[in-house]
Amino acid sequence: MIATSIDEIQAMTCFDNSPRGRLLSGAAYLFHKQGYEKTTVRELAQFIGIQSGSLFHHFKSKDDILANVMEQTIIYNHARLEEAVQSSDDPEQQLKQLIKSELTSITGDTGSAMAVLVYEWFALSQEKQNELLKRRNHYEEIWLNVIQTLCDEGKIKHDAFIWRRLLGGAIAWTVTWYNPNGKMSMDELTETVWKMAIND
């Protein structure tokens, strides 16, 4: 049973408060909580508070809704990563800010959408996957460029791609246990992950 209102969800997401943005917020939430396949168009419309047919004024299909949730999430968090690397010329500090940015994305305002991006990727049509892969690759390039620089400087002694996969997996898993209101702050968690990445 989904009890949280769309207004409460909207306040916690990166999507704007337009009808289209509210639809994406609701879709991200429901796709995350109960899965893409189990969420019907009718249920999504009821959750948002509109008629089922109104969904198709904004999107062509359910697959199109899923693709837009993913695309807007990548765009939003890509900008967040760009800001992180521009905050310093020191690759170690850039890595630290990238870690904080992704932790914030996973456990904060784009948490549901990021989970959908990871766990529902194969629910997306092949055509939509191909369209989004370029955006995902640009997102990953930001990480890989910083990690490769640290490899070249001898501060990370492992393959950059594999190190990113391991680091990304560890960050993604925090959504299952990290409590932003718990005993460890986001800065403390960032520091812990960063030290583990650098002091390997």
Return the pLDDT at 67: 94
What percentage of the chain reaches a pLDDT higher than 70? 92
Mean pLDDT of 96-120: 89
The per-residue pLDDT for 2 is 45
114-168 pLDDT, tens per residue? 888 888 999 998 989 998 998 899 999 999 999 999 999 999 999 999 999 999 9
Structure-token pair, residue 71: 């695309």
Please report which confidence band the pLDDT of residue 200 belongs to, taking 50, 70 and 90 as the band edges: low
Residue pLDDT, tens place only, 54-94: 888 889 999 999 999 999 889 989 999 999 999 999 999 99
The torsion angle over the Cα atoms of residues 78, 79, 81 and 86, rounded to 10 degrees, is 140
pLDDT at 3 over 50: no
The residue with greater pLDDT, 93 or 113, is 93
d(CA 99, CA 194): 7
How high is the pLDDT of residue 194? 95
How much is the pLDDT for 39? Answer: 94
